[in-house]
Chain A
């Protein structure tokens, strides 16, 4: 459903932008519908940049993105708008993912402002249904983000994304700021959503445990490149690359 080939993103730095850093260097991968591709790498490996490139939240320098058979690499931001409904992102830090000045209810109504989905009554029902789905009650609607815990906020964010019935979700370290017990809750919600709506996940994380528990396939990223991609089981059993071996070693024997 998502096909990315040879995508590259350089960041300029230094005096007059003379130093180029390759955040993402000639990366290709593809994702299947309803499955999870885990993207694992250490800090600074370029995995978050790659996630944003895949959604065209930032423009890439070169490369091709094909989403559901349509090439979107050259789409302008305006052309992207209709596709936005289908491709969404969930962030690492739930505390800064919602507008602090809006109530939870106002934030949840937002997706409907940008896309013509249904009337007001339908909207209320949908919001209630999605909140219930993520395990929250409607009493939260009048509160503001700072009154909620991290786990609750992250679930509100998930409910907000699900309202648009996305086909592709980029999960950018969605549980790394949460407690172990809450992390399990959030992952459960994400898995249920995937089952129910057949969403494809690009799950970005540095936690090999979490990645293993969530992914069908795993890609390992290092210094802007994907160095290895295998099914989750195979990767943990027989890693091909030296770097992957090291990584698994450090983490799992920790």
Chain B
């Protein structure tokens, strides 16, 4: 039995006043364990929604179909009680925005070891020493002091690291991190990426990294998945995908980076209420053919990469 997470035909929609929002559409994925898997895409590509759906953390107006299989059980079918044994302990989720993720009136340390005390039923003293050790692992120079600080007393980078410490306090097998470097400057981004590499190496954790920071994905990921309008457009080993991108959208994203050509991708992501027919990307695509507007291509294997484009069909 492997530790991979299998997503099978996952479709997620939200009911809103404006209409049904199709955030994720028929996603089939194998996320391999022991790797850092990057999930990249623009705002509204459904990457965060997909990440949160693994632990069923979505809002009440969401509708999920398909299955997410981990160790022979479907996470989408588990009872809430069974899922709580998995949340944080086996699969943990590190949310976006460390400024909002902490309770401002509670000390950092207490928040970090909350999950530990809940799952392991250990004494408080054991929890505290574990929490301080945990902070030490995340290169806090004065873990004791940080443990007793309030969130507002830490800098943005420290909060992000503390958030990672909180997410990994039970040494979970899987970590799903949602935009861990958003809005951070270069030095802090470097520290955070170091943390993830360390986790993979020492704790042997598997990581699903949701990000729009292409440089981060290129640097630390083993596999990269490109999402667009809730659909997987391309998937492949990070090195290959960034060096020889196949899908026009991936090419566009890479060329838009400031250290590449800084070439804007024309147009905007489609409305998720009225999804375009055919290939989801055809409205912005420079190599559009007639068939692209009519029929959605299948995800095909090309030289060890998977791509959803008529160019390769």
Closest-CB distance, B231 to chain A (whole angstroms): 17
Given contacts A43-B185, A250-B187, contact A181 B258 (CB under 8 A): no
Given contacts A180-B214, A181-B265, A184-B265, contact A213 B259 (CB under 8 A): yes
Q: Which residue of B lies closest to A175 (CB)?
A: B258
* Residue numbers in A under 8 Å from B155 (CB-CB): 43-44
- Is B183 positioned at the interface, with any CB of A under 8 Å from its CB? yes
- Is A75 positioned at the interface, with any CB of B under 8 Å from its CB? no
- Is B154 positioned at the interface, with any CB of A under 8 Å from its CB? no
A180 lies within 8 A of B190 (CB): no
- Is B189 positioned at the interface, with any CB of A under 8 Å from its CB? yes
A179 lies within 8 A of B42 (CB): yes
* Residue numbers in B under 8 Å from A213 (CB-CB): 258-259, 262
Indicate the size class of the contact surface on chain A. 20 to 34
- Is B156 positioned at the interface, with any CB of A under 8 Å from its CB? yes
* Residue numbers in A under 8 Å from B187 (CB-CB): 42, 247, 250
Q: Which residue of A lies closest to B284 (CB)?
A: A181
A254 lies within 8 A of B215 (CB): yes
Q: Which of B135-158 contact A (CB under 8 A)?
A: 155-157
Chain A 138-159: CB-based contact to B (< 8 A → 1; otherwise 0): 0000000000011110000000
Given contacts A43-B185, A251-B186, contact A149 B43 (CB under 8 A): yes
* Residue numbers in A under 8 Å from B252 (CB-CB): 181
A183 lies within 8 A of B188 (CB): no
Residue of B42, B183, B186, B253 near A254 (CB, 8 A) is B186
Bound complex: CA of A213 vs CA of B189, how far in Å?
20
Bound complex: CA of A176 vs CA of B155, how far in Å?
18
* Residue numbers in A under 8 Å from B20 (CB-CB): none
> A residues bordering B, Cβ < 8 Å?
42-44, 149-152, 176-177, 179-185, 187-188, 206-210, 212-213, 247, 250-251, 254
- Offer 24 A-B interface pairs, CB within 8 angstroms, sorted by A: A42-B187, A150-B43, A151-B268, A176-B183, A177-B183, A179-B42, A180-B212, A180-B257, A181-B42, A181-B256, A183-B256, A183-B258, A184-B256, A184-B262, A184-B265, A188-B262, A188-B264, A206-B185, A208-B186, A209-B257, A210-B258, A213-B259, A251-B186, A254-B189
